[in-house]
Amino acid sequence: MQVDVLNIKGEATGRKVELPAEFFGMEPNDHLIYLAVKQYLAAQRQGTHKVKTRAEVQGASRKLHRQKGTGGARKGNIRNPLYKGGGTIFGPKPRDYSFKLNRQVKNLAFYSALSHKAKSNSIVVVEDIQMETPKTREFAAIINNLKLGDKKTLFLMPEDNYNTYLSTRNIPRVKANIFHDANTYDVMNATTLLLTENVVKQFAETETEA
């Protein structure tokens, strides 16, 4: 699949790049995408929820009244879960929600997500963007020039660039990430995938190595 390369003004440069079919041309597997997104969201959960059982709440352990002869129901201590202030039955406890996925499954899910974007023509390729200093206004202007201002955009960088990261941090609906750190959730959560030429080359090099 070939995509036009745009400059930072949103104008066509006359060049095209080939998106590697291994990453952008496969038949998407929605179930693998579901598993990868579920794993990502599960790993974000703190799992620190906690309630007290009848063994942990305050209250005396004495029996409230004798077992028989009162005409009322039998009662244990005041920490009974049926009473106000009593313990909770089967309440949540601290736990780890994360689970493991095989590397191959995660990779196929990521490639499926990229293929979804390619099929829906939701990929924009731009010339390499170099930010010498953090300039949010300049990067916001680039996003507007590319007509992505009203779209949720994932910008993939070829390498770690702190100035570029700082320039995108305060722009609504724009998230910047390194090519090697991208995940299925970020791709599916974005409306448009913004790639630089160098990132496309890295995809091609990865395909060659494989």
**Where are the domains positioned within the chain?**
2-42+98-209, 51-91
- 36 burial type by CB count under 10 A (0-12 exposed, 13-18 middle, 19+ buried): buried
- Report the pLDDT value the prediction gives residue 130, as an integer from 0 to 100: 82
Positions in the chain short of pLDDT 50: 210
How many whole angstroms separate alpha carbon 1 and alpha carbon 106? 23
Nearest to 85 by CA among 52, 111, 112: 52
Residue-wise pLDDT for 20-79, tens only, equals: 989 999 999 999 999 999 999 999 999 999 999 999 999 999 999 999 999 999 999 999
- Report the pLDDT value the prediction gives residue 207, as an integer from 0 to 100: 60
How many whole angstroms separate alpha carbon 144 and alpha carbon 177? 19
- Report the pLDDT value the prediction gives residue 89, as an integer from 0 to 100: 95
- Report the pLDDT value the prediction gives residue 139, as an integer from 0 to 100: 92
Domain spanning 2-42+98-209, CATH architecture: 3-Layer(aba) Sandwich (3.40)
